[in-house]
Structure 1
Amino acid sequence: MLSLKQKPTVLMTSKTLRIIGILMLITTLQSCAVATVVAITAGATMVADRRTFSKQIDDQSIELRAHNEINKQKALSKNTNLHVVSMNGIVLVVGQAPTSYLRELAIKTIQEVPDIITIHNQVRISSTTAITTRSNDLWLTSKVKSALLNNGDVNAQDIKVVTENAEVFLLGLVTQKEADIVVEITRNISGVSRVYKAFEYI
């Protein structure tokens, strides 16, 4: 038989469990809400994209397979810093390789990936960039994107911005007029050393 002193402890435990259960439910619902917002945002972005839905999926597949193939090559995974970006089958490869042999090996490896239309080889023969440089590249990319968002003559969602060692590469399906505007905006961002176009014109 339980003593009177023990009963409150049992009741307290039951109440605590109920509270914990409620808190867990709230947390779960909040997580679902966040996931829903992310899904809606991603969906809106995909709808606004000038590429067809299937092309968007193809581009994601190209990037994933290219990086996987690079990682399979130990010489590339250990000694290079490479990034592959695909836009409507037009692939941009940026980064650093210590030798021309490794740069050529990287491009040859990526060429084996299906659905690629064109490859823009912008890999520099040099040592890999430092963390500080990469952080600065992220900052420059955000500055360019912000400037594009603030311009009413272009849709920033149509432009993919890639920054590598202060060099900015621009991809997207754009008109000639839009390309000129985007390049002009980008070249006037403080810290940008050079601007490269890899646009597909519509």
Structure 2
Amino acid sequence: MKKVILLGFLLISSSFLSSCSPIVQGAAAVTTVATMANDRRSMGEILDDKALYMDLSNLVNKDPMLDDAHINFNVFNKSVLMTGEAPDDDLKNYLEDQVKRKAPLMKQLINEVEVMPNSSYLSRAKDGVISVQIEALFLDQEVFHPRHVSVLTERKTVYLMGSVTKREAEHATNVASKAKNVNKVVKLFNYLLVRPAEEIERDNKKKEDAERKAELDAKRAELEAAQAELQRQMDELNSN
């Protein structure tokens, strides 16, 4: 039975069904992220990743030689991560050859497929829970936007992909390592020298807007307090 799981359309629920939760977050976030302003890829890069992911998934699904393998993909900026299990080295090498033929324009292939029996569905469900925990932890920090880092968990090993600065990468790794039941975190990032200028400008504007709102709130509170004091004094005069 073929064990490539297509997660592009059910990002949240798929996290609990298999270790590929984030197959979809690199290539796959692609299906839902195409309109998201916080993705550091261009629209064209997002669509290219989606197309590459779908091509590779279809390749494995339709090849009877791979019926006994369990394979997951994650794609980010045309870098392909391949995880899962194959029964022997011959099949693992065959799979790699087929992927290279199918995707000659990919930047790199990271083959993390292990020669071993296929993982159980329970194991994949646990991996999905780990991914969800990490994604939740990413929401509770301010060093990087959660959309900048894609998470894939395979047999308790967490793979992180994305375009980030070294500071963001280290922080993401530290945060991911704190999730329950994580054995290892593997960094597969594209490193940026600095954050994109438009992000810095956007963050500065948010900060300015927040400061302006805080100032207005403070003035409003001061005015309300003054009005309350004036009303108190008027009530006191009237009572006399």
| TM-score (structure 2 length as normaliser) | 0.64
- Displacement of 1:72 in angstroms is 2.7
- Displacement of 1:44 in angstroms is 7.4
Correspondence list, 1:1-202, <5 A: 42=32, 46-76=36-66, 78-112=67-101, 113-202=103-192
Write the distance in 2 (CA, Å) between the matches of 1:132 and 1:99: 23
CA deviations over 1:31-58 (Å, ceiling 9, x no partner): xxxxxxxxxxx46753210001000000
- Displacement of 1:104 in angstroms is 0.9
Contact 1:58/1:115 (8 A) holds in 2: no
Q: Which runs of 5+ in 2 are unaligned?
A: 1-31, 193-240
**One-letter amino acid of the counterpart of residue 86, structure 1:** V
Write the distance in 1 (CA, Å) between the matches of 2:120 and 2:65: 19
Identity rate, percent: 25
- Greater relative contact order (Cα < 8 A, sep 6+): 2
Structure 1's consecutive aligned runs of 4 or more residues displaced over 4 angstroms after TM superposition are: none
Write the distance in 1 (CA, Å) between the matches of 2:184 and 2:72: 18
Q: Which runs of 5+ in 1 are unaligned?
A: 1-41
Write the distance in 2 (CA, Å) between the matches of 1:58 and 1:47: 17
Contact 2:34/2:43 (8 A) holds in 1: no
Does the residue aligned with 2:97 lie in a helix, a strand or coil? helix
| TM-score (structure 1 length as normaliser) | 0.76
Write the distance in 2 (CA, Å) between the matches of 1:134 and 1:88: 25
Compared CA separation, residues 127 and 154, structure 1 to 2 (3 A): same
Compared CA separation, residues 45 and 192, structure 1 to 2 (3 A): farther
CA deviations over 1:92-118 (Å, ceiling 9, x no partner): 001011101111111111112243100
What is the number of equivalent residue pairs in this alignment? 161
